[in-house]
Structure 1
Amino acid sequence: MFLGCPTRMVLILASGDLNALFGIGGFVVGILIGIVCLQKGFSLKRSYKQTRLEGFLFPALEGFLFPAINIVLFIMLISSSALLLFSKEGPGSQHAPAFIALIIGLVVGVICQKTRLCMVGGFRDLILFKDYYLLLGFLAMLVAAFIGNLAFGFFTPGFTDQSVAHTDGLWNFLGMVLAEWGSVLLGGCPMRQLILSGEGNIDSVITIFGMLVGAAFCHNFQLASSSKGPTSNGQIAVIVCFFILGIISYYSCKDDKDIENKLKGDVSIG
């Protein structure tokens, strides 16, 4: 609906696309809703590391599943496999050479992994713990992209005539509210989920697959927005997803008594 993830939101704002301001508003509101759910006891439960025995004599064998899939896809990409469909025009056809993209991706991936960069986590930690560490990554990306756009003449401030964007502020806002609400419950933004999947986190791998399936639905059932604006199907989908996410949040949260009893139990054990 917003035509981009939190990372793209930062990048287009740095290029002067003021429609991103509505996205940032939704970004913050979605995080606040997610934080309320966390405070009410929402949890995806604890993650466990597998032992060698559980991994069929190999440590966390299925943790290599996602990297293996990516290696296969990269081979298919550089060999121009007929199984892949390549865009002939539009933004999808504009990309760096595969090996340059791979090298840059590896460098950025290492930086994101070491710094634990997460757009959602930055605001969540600021609000919950007054911790600015992750938020600094958000600001650093914004400043670096802004300087780069100024240096190369790509900074064009305004709402109209922006690349791959629409000016419907309401749906830009609502799209990001929905995305960030879900991201807080997942424990991280799409970039963070991608990094965690590379570390062997199977929950994040499932999340990435869900994003891919969701993108396929959006583009095959006319849910995705375009520079012409949001589609009717997309607007209905956003409303339905709000309803579904609300149900999941409500029934996954513990009531106040459960939280109080757990806290009392923790204190007594300590």
Structure 2
Amino acid sequence: LNALLGLAGLAAGVGIGVFFIGKGFSLGRALPQNRSNGYLFTFVIAFILLIVLAAPAWFFASKEGPGSMHASVLLSLGAGLLVGALAQRSRLCFVGGIRDLIMFRDTYLFTGMAVIFVTALIGSLLVGKFHLGFENQPLAHTQGVWNFLGMTLAGWASVLLGGCPLRQLVSAAEGNTDSAVTVFGLILGAAFAHNFKLAAAPTGVPAGGQYAVVIGLVVVALIAVALTYVKTPVQGRVASGQKAC
């Protein structure tokens, strides 16, 4: 049930993002790049995989806690390849599902979200891991306000970026260097949050994490307003040309 508050926050963030998109928000035109740029992200990820498989002495991995609880590397790789292929073919995007439902009344991506939810629910019921309630949930805290606000930030930022983290990952693998930068930003941001004690825990959201969420909302709001209402001469000419066409 804690996740429902987060889901409501995600929908609220997507709704705010859709408002700015409707008012003309744009990150600028996409420009063709050298083909080799499209392979860079895949090469970097493959290099990281080789490091994981080689497990050198200087490569540190969690020995306890959630970080240590995972399937074998090869099983994870196989599942990732399968899910990645399905996500690429279906254009699955969690934020996009809510966005398209609000903007176009299109239920295609939203239906995919519903199928994933039902599948996960059935799986949890079959293995006896479904426990309805707010208390004593795995890795979840009961601070509903910060659940809501944190996911509002995630939904708002994702809409302005053009897709959720899953969509950004798939797009990066397709050769989109903007998405590749986004994925590396997510990785660095997660590392920063955990190393500087900003991340949430079952005990709640630390004060630093609360400040980070508020600062994030302010920054995203400034970006949204600036790229919606403050047009540079170049943006103005591009917009005029598009309208004339």
TM superposition shift of 1:187: 0.3
Identity of counterpart residues, as a percentage?
Answer: 45
- What CA distance in whole angstroms lies between the structure 1 residues aligned with 2:5 and 2:179? 28
* Change over 3 Å in CA distance of 1:89–1:267 after alignment to 2: closer
The alignment status of 1:204 with 2:179, answered yes or no, reads yes
For residue 43 of structure 2, what is the aligned residue in structure 1? 68
Q: Are 2:7 and 1:24 aligned?
A: yes
Give structure 1 regions of 4+ aligned residues with deviation exceeding 4 angstroms: 261-268
Aligned to 1:10: none
The aligned residue for residue 156 of structure 1 is 131
CA distance in 2, matches of 1:262, 1:64: 30
Contact 1:41-1:255 within 8 A present in 2 as well = no
Tell me, which stretches of 5 or more residues in structure 1 are unaligned? 1-17
Within the candidate set 160, 163, 166, 1:188 is matched to: 163
Q: Which runs of 5+ in 2 are unaligned?
A: none
Which of 87, 90, 104 aligns to 1:112? It is 87
Match of 1:49 among 21, 28, 32: 32
Q: Secondary structure at the match of 1:253?
A: helix
**Residue in 2 aligned with 1:35?**
18
CA distance in 2, matches of 1:244, 1:266: 29
Encode CA deviations 1:68-124: one digit per residue, 9 max, x unaligned.
Answer: 111111111111122321101111101111111101100000000000000000111
1:44/1:262 Cα in 2 relative to 1: closer, same or farther (>3 Å)? closer
Relative to structure 2, which stretch is displaced further, 109-118 or 73-82? 73-82
Question: 1:46: Cα distance to partner?
Answer: 2.2
Give the conservation status (yes or no) of the 8 Å contact 1:167–1:229: yes
* TM-score with structure 1 setting the length: 0.85
Root mean square deviation of aligned Cα: 2.1
Contact 1:19 1:159 in 2 (8 A): yes
Once the two structures are TM-superposed, the CA of residue 202 in structure 1 deviates from its matched residue by 0.2
Q: Deviations over 1:195-224 (max 9, x none)?
A: 001101000000011111111211121111
Looking at structure 2, the residues matched to 148 and 224 of structure 1 have their Cα atoms a distance apart, in angstroms, of 28
Structure 1 residue 93 and structure 2 residue 32: aligned?
Answer: no
1:132 is aligned to 107
Q: Taking structure 1 as reference, are residues 267 and 250 closer, same or farther at Cα in structure 2, changes over 3 Å only? A: closer
2: distance between equivalents of 1:82 and 1:205? Answer: 28
Q: Which residue of 2 aligns with 1:236?
A: 211
**Tell me, what secondary structure is at the counterpart of 2:229?**
coil
1:149-206 Cα distance to aligned partner (Å, 9 max, x none): 1111111111111111101000000000011100000000000000001101000000
Report Cα offsets for 1:115-144 as digits up to 9, x if no partner.
000000011111111111111110010011
Structure 2 CA distance for aligned equivalents of residues 176 and 230 of structure 1:
13
- Residue 175 of structure 1 aligns to which amino acid in structure 2? G
Distance in structure 2 (CA, Å) of the matches to 1:224 and 1:46: 34
| Alignment partners' CA distance in 2, 1:76 and 1:142 | 34
CA contact (8 A) 1:119 1:135 kept: yes
2:4 & 2:82 partners in 1: Cα distance?
29
Partner of 2:152: 177
